[in-house]
Amino acid sequence: MAIFNNRLTAEQYKEYFSDIHPPFETRDAALVEANRCLFCYDAPCTKSCPTGINVPKFIKQITTDNIKGSAHTILSSNIMGGGCSKVCPVEKLCEGACVFNLMDEEAIPIAKLQRYSTEKAIAEKWPLFTRKASIGKKVAIVGAGPAGLSCAHTLSREGVDVTIFEKENKGGGLMTFGIAAYKVTPEFCADEVNYILSLGGIDVKYNHELGKDISLEQLLKDFDAVFLGFGVGIARQLQIRGEELSGVVDAIGFIYAIRTKGYPSVAVGDKVAVIGLGMTAIDAATQAKRLGAKEVTLIYRRTQEEMPCTEEELNIAKLDGCEIIWLASPKKLIGNNGKLTQLECSKMILGEPDASGRRSPVATNETIVLDVDMVIKAAGQIPFENLIGETQLNNAGGKIVIDIESATNITGVFAGGDCVNGGKEVVDAVQAGKDGAASIMRFISFSRKGAK
């Protein structure tokens, strides 16, 4: 057993990381699907979209070849509608709500149709939005992820001068750095960010980290309002023996490396265990397999009924040849000369429901031992507790507390997205950015009248 990189040929990397949901091959193929839509009144697909995209309207526009209109309908509700068409768990959102499910027929492929319009808009740089003349107000945004970009675009359209401070050297946040490359490529993410910024009025200062290169205090002095959308990013530790062994990595870092270094540069083991069964765990497991790992096993402490990933995600892992061990929880990591060799897990049973309503796993005295050379920890992320502690922001376990106006306890500071909710979908972050922008507009309009 060994961990090493460059396991495959260039052709294999290309094939294994190619688009998992290919676009429509022809205009006719898109029209056939668009024309199946019933254009429902009070459409359930729209209601189930966190950003409220008018789905029947954009599909109707596709049927009349009004692709610009269709892209405008989508992007005016969700400026990251292109990326969301690739990464949203649509089976539990719009497509899951489509009335065709009630008739036991295939749901309208809403995501694929959304992609049909938005990809053209982004690739051809259609100027679908205009910025109003500057109103002489400046807003700072921390984080160029989905929440920050959505907030920035909404504010800039209203004539606000926006500066985004981003700790990475690229924008896009989770979309750019934290999602499997076969769902959305780094190139598409860069194009999408550039498309959003092409509106104008948004200056991005990369390599600027809150608490290091900038302080909240200074931002409040220099700007009329601040929006915090810096997400969550610290991997939860397993807190078991052997976590320091070589071969034990966290999923966030593993996926980040795949997205930033290129596939051949990322080392992977022969026998890999992934701890957890959320979307990040699935993305780590499937990509480990696609990088050339011989065996990949997902370890989950509950059963399929309680799993956080969707059925669709689970099927991707199964089709990639990943094994799943249910009702098992890591107990000890065993090594030799500092290198990981085995993972010992406790067998679990399900007890009473916990706060989440799911039955809680209880360890038994039985254990199982797996031979492994790599363990990828994907047991969730925890908020930037220290950073938030330093800022005097009210928080609950590191998650920023906001009111219904997206306002924090500090006047002029608003927040939204993963740094508030602890980690949800990209589309939820986009909506949080819109909500934050609407509240900031009310705040700065009020202060413009001298009542700040």
Strands 161-165 and 202-205: parallel
CA 84 centroid distance within chain: 9
Q: Which parts of 124-163 fold into alpha helices (H)?
A: 146-157
Q: Are the C-beta atoms of 272 and 288 separated by less than 8 Å?
A: yes
Which bin fits 137, alpha (ψ -120 to 50), beta or left (φ > 0)? beta
Closer by beta carbon to ligand SF4, 93 or else 235: 93
Closer by beta carbon to ligand SF4, 4 or else 39: 39
Q: Please tell me the number of Cα atoms within 13 Å of 341 on its side-chain side.
A: 6
Tell me the closest approach of the beta carbon of residue 177 to ligand SF4, in angstroms: 31
Site residues for ligand SF4 per CB under 6 A: 37-40, 43-45, 55-56, 98-100, 108, 110
Which of these, 95, 420, 180, 108, lies nearest to 428 by C-alpha position? 420
Which of these, 58, 78, 182, 156, lies nearest to 426 by C-alpha position? 78
Tell me the closest approach of the beta carbon of residue 54 to ligand SF4, in angstroms: 9
Closer by beta carbon to ligand SF4, 46 or else 342: 46
CA 240 centroid distance within chain: 28
Closer by beta carbon to ligand SF4, 110 or else 345: 110
Closer by beta carbon to ligand SF4, 46 or else 156: 46
Tell me the closest approach of the beta carbon of residue 123 to ligand SF4, in angstroms: 24
Q: How many CB atoms lie within 10 A of CB 327?
A: 18
Q: Which parts of 215-365 fold into alpha helices (H)?
A: 216-222, 251-261, 279-290, 311-319
- What's at 45, amino acid-wise? C
Tell me the closest approach of the beta carbon of residue 42 to ligand SF4, in angstroms: 9
Closer by beta carbon to ligand SF4, 99 or else 401: 99
Which of these, 122, 119, 97, 123, lies nearest to 110 by C-alpha position? 97
Task: Please tell me the distance from the alpha carbon of residue 315 to that of residue 20, in angstroms, as a whole number.
Answer: 12
Closer by beta carbon to ligand SF4, 58 or else 126: 58
Tell me the closest approach of the beta carbon of residue 172 to ligand SF4, in angstroms: 28
Closer by beta carbon to ligand SF4, 56 or else 383: 56
Task: Please tell me the distance from the alpha carbon of residue 442 to that of residue 435, in angstroms, as a whole number.
Answer: 11
Closer by beta carbon to ligand SF4, 117 or else 346: 117
Burial 54-84 (b: 16+ CB within 10 A, else e): bbbebbbbbbeeebebbbbbbbbbbbbbbbb
Tell me the closest approach of the beta carbon of residue 19 to ligand SF4, in angstroms: 22
Tell me the closest approach of the beta carbon of residue 116 to ligand SF4, in angstroms: 14
Tell me the closest approach of the beta carbon of residue 24 to ligand SF4, in angstroms: 16
Mapped onto helix, strand or coil, the DSSP state of residue 55 is helix
Tell me the closest approach of the beta carbon of residue 263 to ligand SF4, in angstroms: 36
